Amino acid sequence: MTAGGERPAPETEGIVVTSRVRLARNIEGFPFPGWSRKPERLRVLEKILPTVEALPEMKGGASHAMDALAALDKQVLVEKHLISREHAGKNVGSAVVINRSETLAVMLNEEDHLRMQAIRPGFCLEKVYALVNEADTRLEEALPFAFSSKLGYLTACPTNVGTGMRASAMLHLPALVLADHMSKIISAVNKLGLAVRGLYGEGTEALGNLFQISNQMTLGEREADILGRLKNVVSEIARHEINARATLLEKSPRMLYDHIGRAYGVLAHARVISSKEGMNLLSMIHLGVALGAFGRLAAEDVDRLFMETQPAHLQRGRGRSRLSAEERDALRADLIRSVVGRGEPPKLDIPPPTGESPKTT
Amino acid sequence: MTAGGERPAPETEGIVVTSRVRLARNIEGFPFPGWSRKPERLRVLEKILPTVEALPEMKGGASHAMDALAALDKQVLVEKHLISREHAGKNVGSAVVINRSETLAVMLNEEDHLRMQAIRPGFCLEKVYALVNEADTRLEEALPFAFSSKLGYLTACPTNVGTGMRASAMLHLPALVLADHMSKIISAVNKLGLAVRGLYGEGTEALGNLFQISNQMTLGEREADILGRLKNVVSEIARHEINARATLLEKSPRMLYDHIGRAYGVLAHARVISSKEGMNLLSMIHLGVALGAFGRLAAEDVDRLFMETQPAHLQRGRGRSRLSAEERDALRADLIRSVVGRGEPPKLDIPPPTGESPKTT
């Protein structure tokens, strides 16, 4: 396995937004959560929750019974990618434990008894794997995981049997979308046994030009091989994005500037912005920042806005009365305008890159 | 006839964009242009062209045989509303004579032998009628107009028989469009025997929120009565527009500011703008100027841009090679950006009007 040893290219910065690995585990002798009744789910929870909470990684972290969390708080966790949309729908008998830095989250009684994930900004699949693997090893010492020497870890859904691992990277691919190359790339990636999904996982739209690439198979392959292959493909896609940016700058600068200019113009002056429009336009600002078009605006400012303008994040801290969609759209526009409109307009005379190895930063 | 004596309200400024009156006349003993062959059309032209050119109003003006005009020059005249789209399609045997200030234009061998029109900015139907009426009186002294003592002036199409007059006003009605009141108004206006059309007459879209209101009937009513009725209805619609602006400011300021802000943002920062988008967004800037949101931008700047970004106006003066649609869209964006983007962003904290008689200037 040579692939796993490669260092991520520095150009992928800002393109690979986050890296994530999750492991699915179950406890021997208990039915899977989907087949369990409430008393059984509670018994599993009683068995595993203290062990998870006692992990050294979880020191200073937070533990939530899903029935004790308000709908809004659940939604905030979904927007942070700390729990799944499915888990947000769970109630009595389910829980989540999250470490202090919000890089490690263990869902209890989601589809499996345990779904643990590590997530971090940037292109760092091995690092997040190491983090979740360490927690997994500790838990395995204390809990009787359902394991078959022939199949590997047993899971509620056959697609997770084996490693129980789903590794993924979230990529920001605005130039590939503008150049209309994504369907070609998605089909090529699918042929390599990897899945391409939208911002919130399976069946969701690629809002903000964000695409999640993950392994499909969990059986018959070692974790390191899966990670190595994913890493290679993600590097390859990131290189395509870099090339697409260079090509747009060289061949269609006006079209590119038009998208960035319009995004700036609308975000800096609109008074009503939907969540979807906000994400798609912030994506263009992010691209503009990466291309050096914005003097004062930093990529972090855009990332923060992206998160803070999600519906639940917007609602949070606005008192108890639930905001209407119109109120959120107004609040979102005001928030974005106060950040994007504060800076200077983009300087859209970006020179096309020269040489064979274009850099965008 | 008391209606005709009313003074136009000062608030209609900027709402009634132009006033126009055209008269259709034909020469006795010649077939209408649609039934004529080339030699007959040329004979009519020979008979009437020198008389039209000799009008004192036409001193210093221009006279064009339609077959001598390039397609681009014809299109420029259409965009200026000095000839009809139909007349631009004419060739040998048709002509147009235009006075120096481009307020009076006489088309020869359009649908009728003579189509003379006067057009001026603002709400001034009597004034433009007086202008075209004077030319008509002079021509009638020199030419045998086809006239029936029972029906009035005879024309190629029965809908023009009688006065041969079509009087119209072009209205800028962005608030009525935003408030979604236009279909109600159009249906009410139609019931009064008046027609509502788009920017370029019959069957055209109301681009830039511009609507042309004109009389339908030409038979059995005196010119002054037609003008008086049109004037009343136009005043009424303008008042509705003023009220709609006040209501938007009071009830939906954010929606209104959003439209104006977005229009500014896009026009000040886009690099590609289609003719249609340009007109629709400039309409919002015009509204913003009328509401006092723009410090430096004047209504005249917006009007000039509106005309100068029409396709033929854009092409004119760019050399002989015909611009592609893409090149025009780029040129249009650059031109608009250089004017709109030069000024300051709109101050969108317009206070709603107080009292019963809101003023928008």
In this structure, are B237 and B270 located in the same domain?
no
Among B261, B272, B333, select the one facing A271 at the smallest CB separation: B261
In this structure, are B116 and B44 located in the same domain?
yes
* ipTM topping 0.90: no
pLDDT value of position B11:
65
**Test the A interface: residue of B254, B258, B269 with most A CBs within 10 Å:** B269
Q: What percent of chain B has pLDDT over 90?
A: 80
**A354: pLDDT confidence band, cut at 50, 70 and 90?**
low
Cα–Cα distance, B72 to B138 (Å, whole number): 32
The whole-angstrom distance between A254's CA and the closest CA on chain B is 6
Cα–Cα distance, A167 to A230 (Å, whole number): 8
Chain A residues within 8 A of B262 when measuring between CB atoms: 265-266, 269-270
Q: What is the mean pLDDT of residues A310-335?
A: 88
pLDDT value of position A200:
64
**Residue B355 domain flag:** no
Cα–Cα distance, B108 to B41 (Å, whole number): 9
The whole-angstrom distance between B234's CA and the closest CA on chain A is 32
In this structure, are B233 and B264 located in the same domain?
no
In this structure, are B217 and B111 located in the same domain?
yes
Q: What percent of chain B has pLDDT over 70?
A: 92
In the predicted model, is pLDDT for residue A75 greater than 50?
Answer: yes
Among B267, B268, B271, select the one facing A257 at the smallest CB separation: B271
**B5: pLDDT confidence band, cut at 50, 70 and 90?**
very low
Cα–Cα distance, A170 to A177 (Å, whole number): 15
**Residue B346 domain flag:** no
pLDDT value of position B10:
57
pLDDT value of position B358:
43
**A280: pLDDT confidence band, cut at 50, 70 and 90?**
very high
Q: What is the mean pLDDT of residues A340-355?
A: 80
In the predicted model, is pLDDT for residue B215 greater than 60?
Answer: yes
Cα–Cα distance, B45 to B41 (Å, whole number): 6
**A5: pLDDT confidence band, cut at 50, 70 and 90?**
very low
In this structure, are A92 and A199 located in the same domain?
yes
In this structure, are B233 and B332 located in the same domain?
no
In this structure, are B68 and B176 located in the same domain?
yes
In this structure, are A225 and A263 located in the same domain?
no
**Residue B164 domain flag:** yes
Question: How many CA atoms within 13 Å lie on the side-chain side of B109?
Answer: 30
Domain total for chain A?
2
The string over A47-86, giving b where at least 16 C-beta atoms fall within 10 Å of a residue's C-beta and e elsewhere, is bbbebbeebebbeebebbbbeebeeeebbbbbbbbbbbee
In the predicted model, is pLDDT for residue A1 greater than 60?
Answer: no
**A351: pLDDT confidence band, cut at 50, 70 and 90?**
confident
The tokens for A255 are 């079209």
- List residues in chain A touching B: CB distance below 8 A: 254-255, 257-258, 261-262, 264-272, 330, 333, 341, 345-346, 348
A-B Cβ pairs (cutoff 8 Å, strict): 60
In the predicted model, is pLDDT for residue A295 greater than 90?
Answer: no
Q: Which residue on chain A is closest to B269 by alpha carbon?
A: A261
The whole-angstrom distance between B259's CA and the closest CA on chain A is 7
Are B268 and A271 within 8 A, CB to CB? no
Strand B165-172 and strand B62-65: the pairing is unpaired
In the predicted model, is pLDDT for residue B46 greater than 90?
Answer: yes
Mean pLDDT check: name the lowest of A56-60, A258-262, B344-348: B344-348
pLDDT value of position A352:
72
**Residue B356 domain flag:** no
Cα–Cα distance, B324 to B342 (Å, whole number): 27
In this structure, are B181 and B258 located in the same domain?
no
The whole-angstrom distance between A258's CA and the closest CA on chain B is 4
Average of per-residue pLDDT values in chain A: 91
**Residue A348 domain flag:** no
Chain A residues within 8 A of B264 when measuring between CB atoms: 265, 269
The whole-angstrom distance between A269's CA and the closest CA on chain B is 5
* Phi, psi (degrees; rounded to nearest 5) at B153: -70, 135
pLDDT value of position A203:
60
Report pLDDT digits (tens) over A169-227: 999 999 999 999 999 999 999 999 999 988 666 566 678 999 999 999 889 889 999 99
In the predicted model, is pLDDT for residue A2 greater than 50?
Answer: no
**Test the B interface: residue of A266, A340, A350 with most B CBs within 10 Å:** A266
Report pLDDT digits (tens) over A219-249: 988 999 999 999 999 999 999 999 999 999 9
Are B272 and A264 within 8 A, CB to CB? no
Mean pLDDT check: name the lowest of A88-92, A317-321, B299-303: A317-321
Mapping DSSP onto H, E and C, the string for chain A reads CCHHHCCCCHHHECCEEEEEEEEEECECCCCCHHHCCHHHHHHHHHHHHHHHHCCHHHCCCEEEEHHHCCHHHHHHHHHCCCCCHHHHCCCCCCEEEECCCCCEEEEECCCCCEEEEEEEECCCHHHHHHHHHHHHHHHHHHCCECEECCCEECCCCHHHCECCEEEEEEEECHHHHHCCCHHHHHHHHHHCCEEEEECCECCCCCHHHEEEEEECCCCCCCHHHHHHHHHHHHHHHHHHHHHHHHHHHHHCHHHHHHHHHHHHHHHHHCCCCCHHHHHHHHHHHHHHHHCCCCCCCCHHHHHHHHHHCCHHHHHCCCCCCCCCHHHHHHHHHHHHHHHHCCCCCCCCCCCCCCCCCCCCC
In the predicted model, is pLDDT for residue B289 greater than 80?
Answer: yes
Number of Cβ within 10 Å of residue A146's Cβ equals 18
Which of B193, B212, B242 is the last residue in one of the domains? B242
Are B262 and A265 within 8 A, CB to CB? yes
Are A271 and B254 within 8 A, CB to CB? yes
In this structure, are B237 and B259 located in the same domain?
no
Range of the domain at B305: 253-340
Cα–Cα distance, A329 to A326 (Å, whole number): 5
Report pLDDT digits (tens) over A11-48: 677 899 999 999 999 999 999 999 999 999 999 999 99
- List residues in chain B touching A: CB distance below 8 A: 254-255, 257-258, 261-262, 264-272, 330, 333, 341, 345-346, 348
**H or E stretch at B272:** none
Q: Which residue on chain A is closest to B259 by alpha carbon?
A: A270
Q: What is the mean pLDDT of residues A261-288?
A: 96
Average of per-residue pLDDT values in chain B: 91
Report pLDDT digits (tens) over A116-164: 999 999 999 999 999 999 999 999 999 999 999 999 999 999 999 999 9
Q: What is the mean pLDDT of residues A44-73?
A: 95
pLDDT value of position A10:
57
pLDDT value of position B357:
47
In this structure, are A205 and A313 located in the same domain?
no
Look at B132 and B295; give whichever has higher pLDDT: B132
Q: What is the mean pLDDT of residues B150-157?
A: 95
Chain B residues within 8 A of A255 when measuring between CB atoms: 271-272
Sign of CA dihedral B199, B338, B330, A206: negative
In this structure, are B229 and B259 located in the same domain?
no
**Residue A182 domain flag:** yes
